[in-house]
Each structure stands twice: as structure tokens, then as C-alpha cells.
Amino acid sequence: MMKPGSEAELAETIAAMRGALRIVGGGTRGVGCDGEVLETSELRGVELYEPGALTVVAKAGTPLAEIESVLAAEGQRLPFEPADHRALLGTDGVPTIGGVVATNVSGPRRIQAGACRDSLIGVRFVDGSGTVIKNGGRVMKNVTGYDLVKLMCGSYGTLGVLSEVAFKVLPDVETVVCVLIEGLSDAAAVRALCLALASPFEVTGAAHTPSGIDGEPVTMIRVEGFEESVVYRAAQLQALLAEFGESSVETNPARVAGGWRWVRDVEAFAGCDGDVWRISVKPTDGPRVGAALEGARLLFDWGGGLVWAETAAGTDVRGKLTEISGHATLMRGDGFARFQPEEGPLAAISAGLRAQFDPRGILNAGVMG
């Protein structure tokens, strides 16, 4: 295992390689391929934090928890609510900020605040030839080359090895509550979630599970902000959703945080034997996904646009969803490609990008097809 301690050493290591490399941050995301392991955990530390400018810059191997702690001390947070899937995937180690960027990990707040790539404003990385590339900036007004910043986010280490990342951050919120409706069918729940999301009441989380923590169907709608505003908006949402039956408002901070962590980290499927799929569709197609995967355990996030499904091992989920537009990623299990196979022009574009940034084909080869 190689653990470069600086960006220069990282570049030298990659330039000298003659075989495949498996890029690892904290080793928590379950991304595997052949090759000699190159770990970025020694590239660590917050390099710049300006609370007044709402920006933070850190080396890629910095633990996510360290970033969050630094921000929390100033009453700020990463907007996109990065998930921790160690329990779901059966991995250990420490999640790193570079791993978050490489996999574009984004939680339930994505529907309101955007994904990881939407908060990312700058990157430094080493490509497959050993060249150091800088793109974007360290402040929000300096976003030259923003498209390349987005390109690196979610590339799973196939285009380059991140050495530094820069984010815009947001102030933390004063109050968080959750409007709960129990007993809804999948179809009714998605209608309720879509209605809430289309309202002017600034919903920051919209999820449904046919079998919640207590085993019963529950629909969850999160509202955040200043206390007076949150109380008003929650009451307005209850009135708006009255047609779906009686609702309640959970105000206990620990219970609200725990419930959304349960959604964010897909805790319901941790420690189970089945395959786990992450299925992205338009929200109104969420119930169709559930019907097509009869017998699967489901969790609907993003108003139904993200469906987590636990199925019997070896179930061909993509084959069952051919009539539904979207894509399915195998998060846990064997027997199928991890990512939805690309076709036609999209496959050609992806291959061209990999050839440009990794001409020798040594970075996480095969991870993305």
C-alpha cells in the first residue's frame, strides 16, 4: 500500500506507476477493483476556512468528521448532508472528504440544497499521467472551469486522484421539525411528498418508508430554519396535506436527527443478506418501481425520486425496470455491474474523458465500465 504524504509525492507516485492503481480514501464506500492500493489518508488537514466568506478548503484525505467539527464550531455545515454508508456496506475505516467528492455522496437535503457537486467550488487533483491539475478556486467568486470541478465529483477516481477540495458552506439552522403521516400507501405518500415539495414552505427532506422504525408505513417531511418560521411552515404543511389523513409534528431534536440519519444512511438495510440497489427515477415513477420490484424492501427519498431497494441476492433489478426511465446502481451485492451500463454517445463521451485524463488506464480501471 502506498500512502503519499503530499501532492508532489502523489504526482511522483502516479507518474512512476507501470500497473493498475486502486484509489482508496478511507475505504468506506465499497468501491473495489484490481491494482496496487494508493491511499490518500496522509493528505490531511483543513488548509483554509473563512466563516465570513462561507468557504472551506481541505486536503482530500481529511476525515469528514473533522470537517464537520470545524464547521460546527462556527455554526456552519456542509449543505448536502453527506451520508455514512459503512453499516449498509459492511465497511470500516474513516470517511474522507475526498471520498465524499469522488462518489458525490449526497443526503436527503439534496432536494433543497443540491448535491455535493453543487457545493464544490474547486479541486486539485493528479491525473493518470502524474500531472497536477487545478480547477475552480478557493472562494465562491472564483469559479473558472466550474464544469471540470463538477466532472471530478462522482468520477470515482477514474479521472484523477483528488488532493484538495474547496466548498461553499452554509449557516446551520436553529430549529428542525418533521411532519409525519402514518399509514399511507406508496402512491399516496409520493403524491403527498410532491405536493409538499411544490409548496412555498421550504421542505428540506421528503421521504417515505412502507416499513418504518416501528414497522408501520411513515411519510416524513422536514422543515428547518428559525423557530417561528418553522412552526408556521409545519402548521401550513399539515393543513395542505389534510386530505391524506391525520398528521403530527415531531419536535424533539434527537428524534428528528435520528429519523433523518436512518433515512440518510439507509440504516434499515444494514446487516441484511440481500442486494441493495440505489434507483434514481422521476419522483412520480417511485411507486412504479415498487410495483415492479414486488417483494423488495423499499425506502423512498427525494420525494420518490430516489428509491433504495433491498432485494433477494441475484435479482436482476435493471431487467425489471426496463419500462421506467432512470438508472439503478448496485450498492451492495455481486453478479451485476455496479453502474448502469452506458450506451451510444454517452459511452463514447465517457471513454473519451477517461482516455484524456488517464491515457494509460491505470486509475480504478473497470470501476465505471
Sequential DSSP letters for 57-86: EEETTSBHHHHHHHHHTTTEE-TT-----H
- CATH hierarchy code of domain 7-171: 3.30.465.10
CATH 3.30.465.10 in the chain: give the residue spans: 7-171
Q: Encode pLDDT of 176-235 as tens digits.
A: 999 999 999 999 999 999 999 999 999 999 999 998 777 889 999 999 999 999 999 999
Q: Decide the pairing of beta strands 36-39 and 21-24.
A: parallel
Q: Encode pLDDT of 248-275 as tens digits.
A: 999 999 999 999 999 999 999 998 899 9
Judge contact between 115 and 121, C-beta under 8 A.
no
Sign of the Cα pseudo-torsion (88, 94, 97, 103, in order): negative
The helix/strand/coil state of 275 is strand
CA atoms within a 13 Å half-sphere pointing along the CA-CB vector of 178: 23
Eight-state DSSP code of residue 160: -
Instruction: Using pLDDT thresholds of 50, 70 and 90, give the confidence band for residue 143.
Output: very low
Closest Cα partner for 292 from 273, 277, 271, 272? 277
Instruction: Using pLDDT thresholds of 50, 70 and 90, give the confidence band for residue 311.
Output: very high
Closest Cα partner for 309 from 320, 298, 318? 298
CATH 3.30.70.2190 in the chain: give the residue spans: 175-264
d(CA 158, CA 259): 34
Q: Which CATH number fits domain 175-264: 3.30.70.2190, 3.30.70.1350, 3.75.10.10, 1.10.10.10?
A: 3.30.70.2190
Q: What is the pTM of this model?
A: 0.93
Which cell goes with 65? 468528521
pLDDT of residue 359: 95
Q: Is the pLDDT of residue 160 over 80?
A: yes
d(CA 29, CA 364): 14
Q: Is the pLDDT of residue 343 over 90?
A: no
| Alpha-carbon torsion, ordered 333, 339, 341, 346, to 10 deg | 180
In the chain, where does DSSP find H-type helix?
7-16, 64-72, 86-89, 97-103, 110-113, 116-119, 146-152, 186-197, 227-240, 253-264, 286-292, 317-320, 344-357
The region of weakest confidence among 183-197, 228-242, 298-312, 338-352 is: 338-352
Instruction: Using pLDDT thresholds of 50, 70 and 90, give the confidence band for residue 145.
Output: very low
The region of weakest confidence among 68-77, 117-126, 143-152, 326-335 is: 143-152
The mean predicted confidence, pLDDT, of the chain is 94
Q: Encode pLDDT of 359-369 as tens digits.
A: 999 999 988 86
d(CA 88, CA 91): 8
- CATH hierarchy code of domain 267-332: 3.30.70
d(CA 49, CA 70): 9
d(CA 41, CA 61): 4
Q: Is the pLDDT of residue 144 over 70?
A: no
